[in-house]
Every structure is written in C-alpha cells, then in structure tokens.
Structure 1
Amino acid sequence: MHDELRYAQGANQHDLVIDGLRNYHWMMSPAALQRKKVMLEAGINAPTKVEAQDGRRRPLIAIRSSPWKAGSQTTPWHDEFDLDHGHIRYFGDHKPTTIGLPGTTRGNKLLLEAAALHAGTTAEQRALAPPLIVFRALTVYREGRAIVKGHLEFCGAAIIERLEHVVQRDPDTGRSYPNLALDLAVVSGGDDDEIDLRWIDDRRDTSLDAQAALRHAPMSWRRWVKHGSTAIPGIRRRVLASTVRSPSEQQPDAGTELEATLRRLYEFYDGRKHAFELLAARVAAQVLSESGARYREGWLSRSSGDGGVDFIGRIDMGASGASMPIVVLGQAKCIVPTSTVSAEQVARLVARLRRGWIGVYVITGSFSRQAQVEIIDDQYPVVMISGKTLVEAVERIVQADYGGDLHHLLQSTIDDYQGAITHRRPEEIIAN
C-alpha cells in the first residue's frame, strides 16, 4: 500500500525499475507470463475475460483516479480517498457531454457488471467477482518542476460495497448529468499491508477455476468470498496509528482554490461568527450523510448558555420500521485557519455527550495533536471536521444546491440564522 510506481509511456514489461521506481507494467503483467499490459489510459480499465474451467471471468478491473484533473471538463467529479479507514468514494466515467443513461460508457458498463457479482449471494458468485485494483495519480517534483503524469500510488484491492445512481453538476457549465457513484471497501493486506499480485496472475490463468485462483488472494478477500457482505467490517483496511494528522494535513494545500475558499469563509464570518454555526450544521449534515448515515438536521442553540453545543441533529440507524435515533451535538468554531483547537476545548463538547450520543466539532483551523490523541485513545464518539474537510464539503454543497455560487450559500446562513435558533433540549430531537 502507498507504493509509488512509474507508469511511463511506452514502458516495457521486462524492467523491474524505471527512473528509480518500480515499473507498473512489470508489476501488473511481467514479461515472463506473456500477458498483455493492463493499461490505465482511462479511469476504468479491464483486460478481456478469460475462459476458465468453471466459466468466463474477468481477471480484474484497474481503477485510476487523477486528483489533478478533478473539476476539469474531462473529470468534473471529485473522488474521495480515506485509505486509513478502507473507504473510497469513486465516480463513474459518465460526463456532461455523454448521451444516454449511466452504463452507456465502457467504464460504467464494467462497474455495473462487477457490482452484480460483488453483490452475489453465494460464494461461487463472489469468487468470480473481479477485484478492483485501485491506483491514484501522483504529482512528483524533479529539479523544482511539477510532473503530473507518469506516476501512480498503489491504493489496494477493493470490493464494491454500494453502487448508486447520482446526479452531478458540471462546475463549468452548471449543467446537471447522471452518473454512477460507488462506495468501495479497501480490504486489509494483513500485517505486511501488501497485496500479492500472483493472485491477479492466477485469475488470468485459464487452467485454474475461480476457487483455485484464490490461493494467493489476501485472507481478507477470501473471508469476503466465503461470508459475503457481513465480513466487510472485519476485513476493511484500518490504520489507527496514522489517524493523528499534522496541522498541514488538516488544511488545504497552499496556493490552491480550496485554500482561497477557506480564507474567504473565515473573512466572511469574521465579526459575525454566530452565523458560522449554521454553515457548520450544514457541513456536518453533508459529511455524515456521505458516510451512508440517514442524518436529519435539527436546530441551533441560543448563543448564550449553550453549554458547549451550537447545533443539534439526529442520525437514524437501521431500516425503516426498525430504526434507532441517535442524538448529534455539534460545536462550531470559526478561527484563524492557521490556529488550532486544544484538547480542553474539545473536552467541553465531550462532557455534554450522554451514552449513545455522538459529537461533531467543525472548525476552520486544525485540531491539536493532543486533542486528537485524547479522542482516539479514550474512544470518544466525536467526528472532527477541520479546515480542509470543511471547505471540501462546502464546495460539494455549493455545486449541488447553490448553482456553484459560494456567496449565495454564505448569505443564506446570515438570512436563515435567526429562524434556525430555538430553545429546546437536545433529546427533543428524538421525538421529531
């Protein structure tokens, strides 16, 4: 995981190393096996199916995400990677100019075909399911020059956990268009955090049936084949040690549009920070809903005597007719983006949480290392939304609901603020 690979134009399948990095084509299709290259010219790629003893199967689907293209005409969507928690939110290859419904393009056809097998109800069906082998384009710097092509980060093997049809908005034209959105579960690579690519070689071997081709698969993948979706929580990749992030990791990269947007947010609410609470409530709703939770917005508390709580919401767990409401307490702080929130400040919100409740802390700055350590070590149910996550969510809200007009969203928090305030106890949200 996280290995950097060289994806050079015209590279051969003989050389293990190119420009000091492992050769992608040697890794995926070594010359000794006499197999065709698995190209990544498109975002969604796959070799042809092989005719094995127990029927036809597709060996793999290779996914390439290019963050540097996000928001462009060719890639107007934003894929989201949370590899430390084994989750990728990936969008299909339907574009604003594509005619027809999702599934018209080759990439989306591949995803729909794979999703049917990943949702298989038997071990035999799941054994045929092609693993999604995920790569992310990297920008590297050589002699002070940024190189945005030809380098990849290996992001692991993934299962399609959920596929849905969505409507997206082209940031350039404002035009809406349909697409596919997938939640991918990145499986654990074991103690070594590795994927043995002999597994992929076996899946391309026509002499092996689907079960025999699992011999080099990760143990996590084999558990999923055997037990299905119920195994996913236990096989998802998790890296607890790296959940403590530095201030720079919690802020947008310098000189980017996201940094400019965050600065604009801070300047807009400076002097009227009470209205930031409504923006924070909307961002919390966006972030929690994207995780698959059924989130319901509640209200804002009064500015005086709020006891460390600025907004109240609710998550409904379970299916319709068999659900359980969970109270969400939110705290919002519009602070200088370069400043941090201390452990003592976070503890004020934690102190208000009752058993079974969760907290959301939304800030324009960063959380101190100690604040993060205490929440992780003490297992406090608090979702920390720092400046980078905040502004990314704001961008998605603006595109989805405000026609790409950031000022329209910000002004709405001023206009709607008074109407959102009420003097009610948090637990009353359960009865709503």
Structure 2
Amino acid sequence: MPVIDGCPNFHFLTDSPGHLRALLEAGINGMRRVRTDGGERRPAILIRSSPWKAGSVQTPWHDVFDLDSGHVRYFGDHKVGSPGAPDGSKGNAALLDAFEGHQAPTAEGRAKAVPLLLLLRSVTSNGKPKGHVEFCGVGVVERVERIVQWAGRERTTFTNYVYDIAVMSLTAEDERLDWDWITARRDGLADAEVLSVAPKAWREWVEHGHAALPRVRRRVARSKVEKVREQRPVTGSAEERDLRLVYEHFDGRKHDFEVLASAVAARILRRDGHAYREGWLTRLSGDGGADFVGRLDLGTGLSGTSLVVLGQAKCILPASNVSAEQIARVVARLRRGWIGVYVTTGSYSEAVQLEMVEDQYPVLLVNGRDLFREIRAMARDDHGGELIACVEHLVDHGAIPVAHRRSEEILLL
C-alpha cells in the first residue's frame, strides 16, 4: 500500500523488485553488498535517529541534525557492554568502511562510494513518539572521531565513534530522492550507468570530491539567495541600457552617487509606513566603511526606539560583483542595534549572500537591478519619466549635507 495511516509507506517507496526489503531495524542499516564488473559495491546505508531517546540507556548520546546548514553529527552503535572493539560493531564497521570510500582521491573511487540515506524519527505535536520516519537527505562522511563517552546511569565510560556527515542538496530534484538510483546500485550496474541516475549534487561530488561540498551542501539559506544573473537587467533590454547610463553618469563622482544611494535607501526603508530620516554623507576620506548615515524610527514614545543606519554606496560596472571584503567593512562598523545598507550598480555573488544570511548580518543589499527600479519609479513619479533629470535633481537639490560626525549623533537629531 502506498499510504498507511495517512503517511507514505516506507516499504512501498523503497521497493526494489528482486531484492530484499530496505530495513530500519537498527540505527545504522547497511544494505547487502552486490557484485559488479568493477568489484563489490554497497548500494546504500540507511541511518536512523530517534531524538527522544537521546541520553537514555539505549541511546546515551545526542545526535545533531542541523539540516539547515547541511550537517549531521551522528554517533556510532558501540555501547556499554558491547563486545569487542568499537570498530567491530556492525554499524561502526559499515560507516568506517563508507568513510574510506568517501575519502577516495579519484572520481573513479568516489563513484563506488556508498551514499548515506539519513532519516529522522518524527515526533507528534503533543510530544509523544511515533514510529514514522522523515527522510532528511543524502550524505557523505567528512570526519570521524574516536571518543570516550559517559554512559550516564551506568556511571562508567565507553569508547565509540562519532561521524560528521555533510548533507547534500536535493534542490535540483525538488527535495526528493528517486529510489531508482538505489535500485540501480542494487542491480549491479556499472558505476558510470548508476551515476547517470544519481542526484545532481552527488554527481558533482563524485567528479570534484570534497572541494565541491561548499557548493553541493544542503543549505536552507540558499532559498534567500539570488543568482547573479537575476540581479542584473536582461541583456540588451532598455533596463540594461538605462542602468549603464546611470553608471556612466556617476562614474568618478563618488559623493554624487552617495546622494543617490542615500535617497534610494530612504525610499526602501520608508516602505510600509516606517519612519526614516536621512542624516548626512561622510567625508571623502576616512569614512571607515560608511558613506551615509540615517536613522530608522520604530514605534512612538516609550514604546518606540531608533536604529542607526550606516550606508555604503558603490558605483561599479553593472557587470561587476561586490566583494565579501567590501561588505565586511560595513559589517565591522555596526554596533548592537544598528543596521547597514549597501547600494551598488553591480551585484552580489552567491557566496557573499550566503555569508550574510547564515551569519545573520543586519545589512540590506540593494543591487543594480533594484537600484535602477527605484530610480525609475522616482523619475516616473516626479520627473515625467526623465531618468537623468531625476538623478541630477537629487544631486543638485538634495538636502543631505556632508559632515564629519560620529554616527551615533543621528540619534540626537
């Protein structure tokens, strides 16, 4: 049956005709090896974790499933009273063997490596455990550590292994795993044939090794990241031509572009009724990572507060990217309760955006496409659609002064 008690049937989804059922009886479940023309291959290792059992006699460890960052820290299956050495227990032996394959120095070696299929036991809303499992992703072992653990109620210690596992992105597959890949691995097909039906991230890892992990690791933050091409107007469009015109108009005129950037930042920050006050531009030298200063007021009276806004403006070629070092200058200036705004005619690399999202830096990034759209809206509202007339008016008649003041003084105005 495909569905039981309203949940997808694990055995139905993992059915491989002609093969034994995939099992989840233990925490670490290694599938039986199969023979291929290139030697033996283990199709997959299914790893299960039960979070509510952490710290119990049965499970005296605490697995960590940080799926947003694509990382799992998983403890092996050696326990107090287990016979033999920790690497002799069934689960540890399977994962240590998998680790060796995951460290293969060649693509041919990695093509034989066994994928780890990670599953997490779910918990009902009232906190009672259920037998259902949730698929969390495909992983490879990055590091292995032999550790000494405290057995809790037994008041003794024992030796075990802990595994740091990189969870790969399945974005290209809409967060789904095609079980046909595992079936192909079980059928003994050639490595190259099996690889052709593997997830995209797995194929890239096989080709490039651990150097590819920063690109293929699962990161929820990636959903908040825009590709560089999406931050730029369409090639050959009127938007691209006009953005280039704006860049050429301000190229070499740093303070004039800062006036424009401050006005655009004010327009963005005033949306949804927020009260924003433009302050001043900093002097040409010694700005220390801030080109303009403003204040964002939230609430009123005793129920209100004000935030210092530090802005950075960068007029660069629309086809250029802002570097992480340039963003870091603004971040380094921010104090607790301050926010930053970075305005550019260019764009931001995916790596820069990921760093901003994952480190939760309070900085608004305004790229060239968004900058142009705000300017175009201002020109349409006040200057009959004349783009250059709009920006020249902002520069010539803008009320924002140039000052050499401490940023926090904006709170006193």
Instruction: Pick the TM interval, shorter chain.
Output: 0.5 to 0.7
How far is 1:100 from its partner? 3.2
Distance 1:53 1:241, change over 3 A: closer
Distance in 1 between the 2:306 and 2:67 partners? 26
Distance 1:98 1:184, change over 3 A: same
* Aligned equivalent of 2:182: 200
Amino acid of the structure 2 residue aligned with 1:20: G
Is the Cα contact below 8 Å between 1:190 and 1:218 reproduced in 2? no
Using the alignment, how far apart are the partners of 1:232 and 1:91 within structure 2?
22
Partner of residue 218, structure 1: 199
* 1:119 partner letter: Q
For 1:130-171, what per-residue CA distance to the aligned partner results, in whole angstroms no more than 9, with x for missing partners? 100010001225xxx765232011101001111111111122
Runs (4 or more) in structure 1 with deviation over 3 Å come to 342-345, 353-359, 373-378, 380-384
1:237 aligns with 2:223: no
| Structure-2 change in CA distance of 1:93 and 1:377 (3 Å) | closer
- Report if the CA contact (8 A) 1:16-1:26 is conserved: yes
CA distance in 2: counterparts of 1:217 and 1:116, whole angstroms: 20
The amino acid of 1:199's aligned partner reads: W
Paired AA for residue 55 in structure 2? G
Among all aligned residue pairs of Structure 1 and Structure 2, give the percentage whose two residues are the same amino acid. Answer: 42
Distance in 1 (CA, whole Å) between partners of 2:199 and 2:143 is: 21
Deviation of 1:174 (Å): 3.5
Amino acid at match of 2:356: Q
TM-score (norm 2): 0.55
- Asked if residue 154 in structure 1 is aligned to residue 135 in structure 2, the reply is yes
Is 1:71 paired with 2:55?
yes
CA 1:343–1:124 in structure 2 vs 1: closer, same or farther (change >3 Å)? farther
* Aligned-partner SS, 2:110: helix
Bigger proportion of residues as helix: 2
* Superposed CA offset, 1:291-311 (max 9, x none): xxxxxxxxxxxxxxxxxxxxx
Q: Distance in 2 between matches of 1:356 and 1:166?
A: 42
SS of the counterpart of 2:144?
A: strand
Paired AA for residue 208 in structure 2: H
Distance in structure 2 (CA, Å) of the matches to 1:210 and 1:177: 39
**Which amino acid counterpart does residue 221 of structure 1 have in structure 2?**
W
The SS at the match of 1:199 is helix
Structural mapping, 1:286-297, within 5 Å: none
- 1:108 paired to 2:97: no
CA–CA distance in structure 2, aligned partners of residues 343 and 88 of structure 1: 40
Task: Look up the SS of the partner of 1:379 in the other structure.
Answer: helix
CA separation in 2, counterparts of 1:86 and 1:59? 22
Q: Secondary structure at the match of 1:125?
A: helix
Alignment of 1:179-190 (within 5 A): 179-190=160-171
2:153 to 152, 172, 176: 172
Instruction: Name 2:41's counterpart in structure 1.
Output: 57
Partners of 1:84 and 1:242 within 8 A in 2? no
Indicate the RMSD between aligned Cα atoms, in angstroms: 3.6
Could you tell me which residue of structure 2 aligns to residue 331 of structure 1? none
Task: Provide closer, same or farther for how the CA distance between residues 135 and 381 of structure 1 changes in structure 2, counting only shifts above 3 A.
Answer: closer
C-alpha spacing 1:377/1:125, structure 2 compared with 1 (3 Å):
closer
SS of residue paired to 1:117: helix
Q: Which runs of 5+ in 2 are unaligned?
A: 225-304, 311-326, 343-351, 362-413
Instruction: State whether residues 38 and 46 of structure 1, in contact with CA within 8 Å, keep that contact through their aligned partners in structure 2.
Output: no
Counterpart for residue 96 of structure 1: 80
Whether the aligned pair in 1 keeps the contact of 2:221 and 2:357 (CA below 8 Å) is: no
Q: Does 1:130 align with 2:114?
A: yes
- Return closer, same or farther for 1:53/1:240 CA change in 2, 3 Å cut-off: same
Unaligned segments of structure 1, at least 5 residues: 1-14, 244-341, 348-352, 362-366, 385-432
Which of 379, 397, 403 does residue 356 from structure 2 map onto? 379
Contact 2:222 2:354 in 1 (8 A): no
Rounded Cα–Cα distance in structure 2 between residues aligned with 1:164 and 1:101: 15
CA distance in 2 between partners of 1:177 and 1:358 (Å)? 45
Preserved CA contact (<8 Å) 1:49 1:57: yes
Give the whole-Å Cα distance in 1 for the aligned partners of 2:59 and 2:10: 23
Letter in 1 for 2:14: M
Q: What is the aligned partner in structure 2 of residue 139 from structure 1?
A: 123
CA distance in 1, matches of 2:3, 2:38: 36
**Cα offset, 1:101, TM superposition:** 2.5
Q: How many angstroms apart in 1 are the aligned matches of 2:169 and 2:222?
A: 15
Q: 1:34 maps to which residue?
A: 18
CA distance in 1, matches of 2:195, 2:210: 18
Q: Name the aligned partner's letter for residue 24 of structure 2.
A: L
Structure (1 or 2) with the larger CA radius of gyration:
2
Deviation at residue 241 of structure 1 after TM alignment: 6.9
Q: Distance in 1 between matches of 2:329 and 2:35?
A: 55
